Amino acid sequence: MNQKKYWRGLEELQDSPERKKNAEDEFREPLPFDEPQSLLETPTPRRDFLKYLGFSITAATVAAGCEIQVRKAIPYLVKPEEITPGVPNYYASTYCQDGDYCPILIKTIDGRPIKVEGNNLSSLTAGGTSARVQASVLSLYDTARIRYPMINGEETTWATLDKMVLQGLGDLGTGSIVILTSSIISPSIQQAISDFIVKYPQARQVTYDAVSYSGLLMANKECYGKQAIPAYHFDQARCIVGLDCDFLGTWLSPVEFARQYAVNRKIRQDNPRMSQHFQFESNMSLTGANADYRYVHKPSQSSAIALALYNAVANLKGKPTLAGEPLTDSRLTAGIQKTAKALGAQEGHALVVSGSNNPHVQVIVNGLNEMLGSGGRTLDWSSPLNYRQGIDQDMEQVLDDMAADRVGALLVYQVNPAYDYYRSDAFRVNMGRVKLSISFNERQDETTVLCKYAAPDSHYLESWGDSSPRQGYFSLQQPGIAPLFKTRQFLESLLVWSGAAQTDPLPYIQDYWKKNIYPHYNNIYPQLGNADWQTWWDQSLQNGVVEPKVTPAAVAAHFSGNMAGAAAGLSPAAAQGSLEIVFYENVAMGSGKWANNPWLQEMPDPITKCTWDNYVCISPALSDQIGATITRFNEVYHHRPVARLTIGGKDILLPVLVLPGLHPEVMAVALGYGRSNSTGMVAGDVGKNIFPFISYNAQNQAREYYSTGVKIVKTAETYPLGITQTHNSYEGRPIIRETTLHDFSLDPSALKREELAEESRYGKDYSADATLYPQIYESPGIRWGMSIDLNSCIGCSACTIACIAENNVSVVGKKEVVRAHEMQWLRIDRYFDGDPENPQVVFQPMLCQQCSNAPCENVCPVAATTHSDEGLNQMIYNRCIGTRYCENNCPYKVRRFNWRDWNGADSFADNLYLEDKANVMMNEDLTRMVLNPEVTVRSRGVMEKCTFCVQRLQDAKLVAKKAGRPLIDGEAVTACQQACPTQAIAFGNINDKASEVYRIRTQDQHFRSYYVLDLLHTLPSIDYLAKIRNKDPEDFFSEPPQHVL
């Protein structure tokens, strides 16, 4: 037996304890692996690992794309089964924020959500999205998110927090617990709240909506006995009347309504029919901009208008009219008559909606719909909408209770009354009186900073969840990434505090669904038959949405409205000549929840085309009065006069923006600006907060979004506004083609006649014969083409944000927008024509037209932009030297130059453009995780532009190639097309005779189809479909060409 002992190194010989220890575990540091126990306590949990991974891969992408030294990417140590580096995964989920709802797909690359797309399986949105939905992916990487639970602003662990909270809840004594939430459409969260209330009987849930729909809910309660909102069927309506109701932009569920609306706005040229849309409104809303007939009135007249419309229809139908204040304005009365006639003619296919928060007005409107037999047709009570549930009075009550020390604990979820309640000051004061205050909000917003405890909720892209937008319709929410920070879902917190055995959200949700939903829906999947729970659940999770097998037939509800009473309760119109102001939500900001999202802040408002601010919109007439007239000489300057407004005795300074289509005595200001600096780098000091100017009408028990007796005085100072389009008229140029339904149905070819006559002078084939050089370039395989329908484009700008997200388009910040340096590849041109008091509006999405004879290509000295054989106008970034000649020579002005180093992808050190907080934020490591690794980040000094999302086209082609088949139409989808809620954009291969684009151009819509500036013989690949207005020819305004010397 050999007892010889060999020793390696002296320490082994001495055999020190450390060496023993080291010898035992070969890794000195604990590995960043997922330890099952106490995840959050581990120094570097898996989520951090994923985070580093995600970041480093972005960094590598950025580096690879541009000429800066390559930073190393960390490869997977253990590759997750379902992830292939570089190959995107899509997870069905749901976007759901304070009642705003949209079923989505999360596109993740290397475990990193980089894009949100609509879910086509939903019958409500059919794959549509909104700008906010598209931008929500950026908010996942928001630097201002709270990263850990906090007590009085100090970091703590969840364990400690839970202990403290439970203790606090324990010794509340008599004090009640108020769970202040936004409208919650998640059944499981709702369930959890009731569980919580069971545990703590003194608790009650109060729903508070930043922008109130109380009037509507109360009216419905009175008329139909249900405090709910019926499902609207705009797709069934042939005549739509909107009263101060922006149902395409901000009201209830714009994405859903826009889809429905578009159904009857799209036109078939063989049998042209479309709905007719009347709009009565005080400010120019997105919806009003799309209306066939739009009438402007003062906000205080809205009651009178509802009444007048009711009476006019009643007269037609020989029904009893209602007594009340008559409408004096002749223009309006005429409009009312016209509208009533149209409504009457469409009985059963009419729909009147009102955005008023005055219950009496809503009652009148309900009565009106009853008279028109909308119930059971366009107004459906079979499955009401859950989007909004807040009753203003409840919130008032909460405030009183707080003042009277009756509130012991306040749990704040997704709401921010300290900012957006009209009595925010009172709220702030009373917060001090609340013993136990907990905020679940994801950031240090105005309310959270007042709360003792911050229990940050995870971002929706990190969370499990479900929602029921509408009775009987459900959708599921699954995370696209593990929580980036030590945040915890609201649901989980509730479960923990109500002492539930199972506190993990997923099992809880599954449990809820197994009990309440699965039994009724187990047979909705034909291919599965009566599926067992697990298969059913997996299928549902994959689909994201769960809907009734057969769409429930629309049903009416028994109407029991007291019309006379309502008429009596209407609020009187203010005196003539007194100025009034209306407070509205704009499409990007809404109630201000998204203030810290640079993409949305830099999104030009669809109507005013202004970014990064709120401002007071006034009519040209009023601007003359206060001496702020906009002329062709000063329209180009971005510095606009500042006015002092006096609203209800309070003063506020706001920049003036002159907007045609406003009532001469009406001003409009957007809500949702002027957030506190703590809410985020960008949100702070952008615009002014208008919520405090909202008033509460005690008699109606509802908030009022307008104010009368307003004064406006122009001050000496000016203020720069980031307006991206300063000229409003298209000067009658043939870049827009529009006509009336009447003329179009008489002779569809009239639209094209002039053009054909002109082109025929060049020979048979205009594109080949009208040029010095013959067309020699064939596209043997694919030739990409796009067709944009001006009728269904409502200008919502979802495409603009989708493009930014997909193509890593830089945010430049306000200072640069003011200098016309914005980078958006896809812009929406908004033109007014006709009467400046009340113009016609047309939206035209403008992106690179991918011209076959591209003027930009000819002039590039280094051949940095050339043509692909698929008809794409390619931009070769690393060949570009930046002469900007192509930009100058682009007749569509869609090329964008990197004026500064927006994103650190430059050859110079530390010359990154950081003059704006937005640029700082967008260049944070965290924020950069949103960058799409499939798209180069452009360096300073190069030109860039739309490429039809060439990376997506390549993906689609590869998929087809792998499957060994030709590309199927609809397989290659551009980001803008995907995002569009109205399917206004068709895209595909025009060599494929079966493709939609080909059919639109050559058969279905060839009379409407036209090319912008085809007189230049640029031969664009994008055609537009002429806008058809459902107007009487005599009312239609077609602008004559101007300024031909």
Partner 1 sequence: MSLKYESTVREPLINGDKTFHQVTEDIIRPIETRPGKLWYVGLTLSLCLLAFGIFSVSWQVYYGVGVWGENKTVGWAWDITNFVWWVGIGHAGTLISAILLLFRQGWRTGVNRAAEAMTIFAVLCAGQFPVWHVGRIWDVFFIFPYPNSRGPVWPNFVSPLMWDVFAVSTYLTVSLLFWYSGLLPDLASVRDRARTKIRKWAYGIASFGWTGTVKNWQRHEALSLVLAGLATPLVLSVHSVVSMDFATSVIPGWHTTIFPPYFVAGAIFSGFAMVQTLLILTRRILHLEDYITLGHIEAMNKIIMLTGSIVGIAYMTELFDAWYSGNFGEGGAFWWRIFGPYWWAYVMQITCNVVSPQVFWFKKLRRNVPFTFIMAIVVNIGMWMERFVIIVLSLYHDWLPSSWSYYTPRWPEIGFFLGTFGLFFTGYFLFAKYFPVIALAEIKALLKTSGESYKDKMEPIEEESTAQFIQQAAHAHEGG
Partner 2 sequence: MAIKNFVIGCFQDEPQIFEAVKKVRLSGFKLHDVYTPYPVHGLDKAMGLRGTSLHTAGFVYGLLGTLTAVGGMGFCTAISWQLNIGGKPHFPLAAFIPITFELTVLFASVGMTMTFCWLNQIMPGVKKHIFHHRQTDDLFVVAIELTSHTSAVEVSQFFQSLGAIEISEQRAEEGWWYGNFARQEPYQEAGLTQQAVTP
User: Which parts of 259-360 are beta strand (E)?
Assistant: 276-281, 293-296, 350-354
Supply the DSSP string of 461-491, one letter for each residue.
GG--EEEEEETTEEEEE--SS--SSS---HH
User: Taking CB within 5 to 8 Å according to partner kind, which of partner 2, partner 1, none is near residue 867?
Assistant: partner 2
Segment interacting with partner 1, rule: CB under 8 A, options 257-265, 291-299, 630-638, 955-963? 630-638
CB nearer partner 1, residue 98 or residue 816: 816
869 contact, one of partner 2, partner 1, none, CB 5-8 Å limit per kind: partner 2
Cite the beta strand spans of 479-562 per DSSP E: 545-546
Binding mask 921-940 for partner 1 (x = CB under 8 A): ------------------xx
Please, which residues bridge with residue 111 across strands? none
Q: How far is the CB of 781 from partner 2 (least distance, A)?
A: 15
Q: Look at residue 746 and give the partner it binds from partner 2, partner 1, none, a contact being a CB closer than 5 to 8 Å depending on partner kind.
A: none
Residues 6+ apart with CB under 8 A from 858: 889
Please, what is the minimum distance in Å from the beta carbon of residue 610 to partner 1? 14
Residue 48 vs 887, nearer CB to partner 1: 887
Cβ at position 1014, least distance to partner 1 in Å: 12
In the complex, what is the shortest distance from the CB of residue 763 to partner 2, in angstroms, rounded to a whole number?
17
Residue with Cβ nearer partner 1 (19 or 639)? 639
C-alpha closest to that of 509 among 478, 530, 487, 469: 478
Is 911 a binding residue for partner 1 by CB under 8 A? The answer is yes
Taking every pair of Cα atoms in the chain, the longest distance, rounded to a whole number of angstroms, is 119
Closer CB to partner 2, 201 or 774, in the complex: 774
> What is the spatial distance between Cα 18 and Cα 305, in angstroms, rounded to a whole number?
86
Site string for partner 1, 826-865 (x = CB under 8 A): -x-xxx------------x-x--------x--xxxxxxx-
Tell me how far apart the alpha carbons of residues 802 and 979 are, in angstroms, rounded to a whole number. Answer: 6
Work out how close the CB of 726 gets to partner 1 at its nearest, in angstroms, rounded to a whole number. Answer: 6
Min dist CB 1024 to partner 1, Å, is 13
Nearer to partner 2 by Cβ, of 678 and 779: the residue is 779
Q: How far is the CB of 779 from partner 2 (least distance, A)?
A: 10
Adjacent-strand bridge partners of 642? 655
Nearer to partner 2, 752 or 867 (CB): 867
Sorted by sequence, the CB contacts under 8 Å of residue 884 that are 6+ apart come out as 897, 943
854 binds, among partner 2, partner 1, none (CB under 5 to 8 A by kind): partner 2
Answer whether 380's CB lies under 8 Å from 233's CB.
yes
- Kindly indicate which of the ranges 390-398, 631-639, 686-694, 956-964 contains the residues binding partner 1, using the contact rule CB under 8 A: 631-639
Site for partner 1 in 684-743 (CB under 8 A): 725-735
By C-beta, is 203 or 851 nearer to partner 2?
851
200: exposed, middle or buried (C-beta count within 10 Å: 0-12, 13-18, 19+)? middle
Site pattern 267..306 for partner 1 (x: CB under 8 A) = ----------------------------------------
Q: Which does 1029 bind (CB under 5 to 8 A by kind): partner 2, partner 1, none?
A: none
Placement of tokens 């999405």 in the chain? 845
Contact partner, 407, from partner 2, partner 1, none, Cβ < 5-8 Å per class: none
Query: Distance (Å, rounded) from C-alpha 794 to C-alpha 250?
Result: 13
Binds 891, which of partner 2, partner 1, none (CB < 5 to 8 A, cut-off by type)? partner 1
Which one of partner 1, partner 2, none is in contact with 773 (Cβ closer than 5 to 8 A by kind)?
partner 2
Dist. CA 785–CA 950, nearest whole Å: 12
Closest C-alpha among 496, 597, 562, 537 to residue 918: 597
Nearest approach, Cβ of residue 715 and partner 1 (Å): 24
| Contact mark string toward partner 1, 987..1026, x via CB under 8 A | -------------------------xx-xx-x--------
d(CA 937, CA 892): 24
Distances (CA, A) of 61 to 50, 137, 228, 939: 16, 19, 49, 13
Restricted to residues 844-863, the positions that interact with partner 2 (CB under 8 A) are: 852-858, 860, 863
Residue 681: strand pairing partners: none
Between 402 and 894, whose beta carbon lies closer to partner 1?
Answer: 894
Residues 861 to 900 in contact with partner 2, rule: CB under 8 A: 863, 866-869
Residue type, 217: L
Half-sphere exposure of 282 (CA within 13 A, CB side): 27
- Kindly identify the residues of this chain, within the stretch 1012-1041, that bind partner 2 according to CB under 8 A: 1019
SS3 letters across 762-817: CCCCHHHHCCCCCCCCCCCCCCEEEEEECCCCCCCCHHHHHHHHHHCCCCCCHHHH
Stretch 189-248 residues interacting with partner 1 (CB under 8 A): none
Report d(CA 149, CA 454) in Å as an integer.
6
Short-list 460, 117, 102, CA closest to 252: 102
Strand-pair category, 100-109 with 89-97: antiparallel
Cα 705–710–712 angle (5° rounding)? 125
Size of interface with partner 2, in residues (CB under 8 A): 20
User: Pick from 893, 961, 965, 993: which binds partner 1 (CB under 8 A)?
Assistant: 893
Q: Which is nearer to partner 1, 500 or 859 (CB)?
A: 859
893 binds, among partner 2, partner 1, none (CB under 5 to 8 A by kind): partner 1
Binders in 769-788 for partner 2, by CB under 8 A: 772-777
Q: Which helix (H) or strand (E) holds 720?
A: strand 706-720
C-alpha to C-alpha distance for 722 and 608, rounded to whole angstroms = 10
The sign of the dihedral angle between the CA atoms of 689, 246, 1022, 956 is positive
CA–CA separation, 703 vs 771, rounded Å?
A: 64
Distance CA 577, CA 570 (A): 21
Between residue 943 and residue 962, which ones bind partner 1 under the rule CB under 8 A?
943
* 777 vs 908 by CB, closer to partner 2: 777
Indicate which single residue of 908, 993, 994, 1032 sits in contact with partner 1 (rule: CB under 8 A).
908
Q: Measure the CA–CA gap between 708 and 346, rounded to whole angstroms.
A: 36
Neighbouring-strand partners of residue 840: 833
Which is nearer to partner 2, 34 or 769 (by Cβ)? Answer: 769
Short-list 196, 208, 177, 249, CA closest to 98: 208
C-alpha–C-alpha distance, residues 190 and 188, integer Å:
5
Residues 809-828 that bind partner 1 (CB under 8 A): 816, 819-822, 827
Report how many residues bind partner 1 under the rule CB under 8 A.
74
Nearer to partner 2, 55 or 1011 (CB): 1011
Rounded least distance, CB 955 to partner 2, Å: 24
Q: CB 490 → partner 2: shortest distance, Å?
A: 56
With residue 206 as reference, give the H or E element that holds it. strand 203-207
Site residues for partner 2, window 950-979 (CB under 8 A)?
none
Hey, which residues between 407 and 466 contact partner 2 (CB under 8 A)? none
By CB under 8 A, the residues from 783 to 812 that bind partner 2 are none
Binding string, residues 871-890; x marks residues near partner 1 by CB under 8 A: --------xxxxxxx-xxx-
User: From partner 1, partner 2, none, which one binds at residue 852 (CB under 5 to 8 Å depending on kind)?
Assistant: partner 2
Count of other CB atoms within 10 angstroms of residue 636: 10
Structural contact between residues 479 and 457, judged by C-beta atoms closer than 8 angstroms: no
Footprint (CB under 8 A) of partner 1, residues 468-487:
none
- Helix, strand, or coil (residue 91): strand
Binding site for partner 2 (CB under 8 A): 772-777, 852-858, 860, 863, 866-869, 1019
